[in-house]
Amino acid sequence: MLMSHLGWVNTYYALTIPFFASATGTLLFRQLYMMIPTSLADASLVDGVKPLQFLWYIVVPISKTNISALFLIEFIYIWNQYLWPLIVANAEATRVIQIGLKQLIDTDAAVDWNIVMSGAVLGMIPPLIILILFQSSLIKGLSLAEEK
């Protein structure tokens, strides 16, 4: 009902924006920000750094690995959704690959499994590329390892 009220049915907004706020992100960033010493904030205040400058020049660079780790986790989570896109994306233009694969299987005729399997392999390519690109950030972000 909320997506319909906002006019987001059959849009990419409905497929992505509800997943921006996640418990995983809250936990990941809370743990990171709990590790930032208050003496760092105090020292920046003594140096004349304003709060927004502290955020932009100190906190955001510290958070880069966590931001990319969260992006990877959320991208794969959103990519693997089945029920939510089935509810909010009814038009063919916004249909996701998981729904398309299910429609290939639910035909009255014999299922062409070679087409279904090739579609499944094609559906794995974008998350695999994102995983390869952000692999080191994922490991650093989840283990809180130091950047070199």
Query: How far is it, in rounded angstroms, from Cα 89 to Cα 3?
Result: 10
In this prediction, residue 146 carries a pLDDT of: 52
| Model pLDDT, residue 9 | 92
Question: For residues 35 and 30, what is the distance between their CA atoms, to the nearest angstrom?
Answer: 9
- State the 10-residue block means of pLDDT for the chain, 148 residues long: 91 90 90 91 92 93 88 90 90 89 84 92 94 84 58
In residues, how long is the chain?
A: 148
pLDDT of 148 reads 45
Q: Which residues, in sequence order, are CB contacts of 115 under 8 Å at separation 6+?
A: 104
- pLDDT at residue 52, as a whole number: 94
